[in-house]
Amino acid sequence: MGKAKKTRKIAEKRFAKMKTMISPSDPRIKAKLRAQPRKKKPEDPHKVKVNEAPQVSSALFFEYNTQLGPPYHILVDTNFINFSIKNKMDIIQNMMDCLYAKCIPYITDCVLGELEKLGPKYKVALRIIKDPRFERIHCLHKGTYADDCLVQRVTQHKCYIVATNDKDLKRRIRKIPGVPIMYVAQHKFTIERMPDAYGAPKV
């Protein structure tokens, strides 16, 4: 009996709490006791409507990015390096085979920080990116989350190709117009969203 009383009291408390949550204009309340809904202020027909639209980059000519051209500047992500090592592929050589032009891979401080955090298993990857052919980009923002850093960089500067195998990062970059994505597929590098104007292979 004691247990049943306790549960009833708990149920009563819950019901009492629910009562206080119902708004006075709720349709479940009787029409006499119900409060009138607040009327919205009518819009002024003479007021000028302002629509804010993001500024389109001057680098874009419709879907074509005019800033893309040899030598290609490629921002490399952590997992792209790891996939290349797993497939035993030379990063710079395969980039040039994919794009038929000179390629300059860029490593941001965030990507370097991520690789250092991953520990001794990724010593080979660290040794590869410390090659003098890889250019370093210094980050001025706080934190070491590479995905946000890469997205922010390609949004501001449209001269980069992003090399990544990360599905989430790919999804985010596809929303930014004029930024191609390079990834590892079937033991070779493949490019996605590359303008036809430069004769690069397209998926």
**pTM value?**
0.68
The domain of 76 spans 60-198
User: Which among 7-16, 103-112, 191-200 has the top mean pLDDT?
Assistant: 103-112
Separation of alpha carbons 183 and 174, rounded Å? 13
DSSP label of 1: -
- pLDDT score of 199: 41
CATH number, domain with residue 102 = 3.40.50.1010
Tell me the pLDDT band of 145, cut-offs 50, 70 and 90.
confident
Can you tell me the mean pLDDT for 42-66?
76
Number of domains in the chain: 1
Separation of alpha carbons 158 and 165, rounded Å? 20
Residue 45 lies in a domain: no
Residue 127 lies in a domain: yes
Residue 25 lies in a domain: no
| pLDDT tens profile 82-105 | 999 999 999 999 999 998 889 999
| Partner residues linked to 166 by β-bridges | none
Residue 103 lies in a domain: yes
Supply the angle between the helices 78-86 and 109-117 in degrees, to the nearest 10.
60
Separation of alpha carbons 165 and 184, rounded Å? 7
The two three-digit tokens of residue 184, written as one number: 């590892």
* Phi, psi of 136, rounded to the nearest 5 degrees: -100, 135
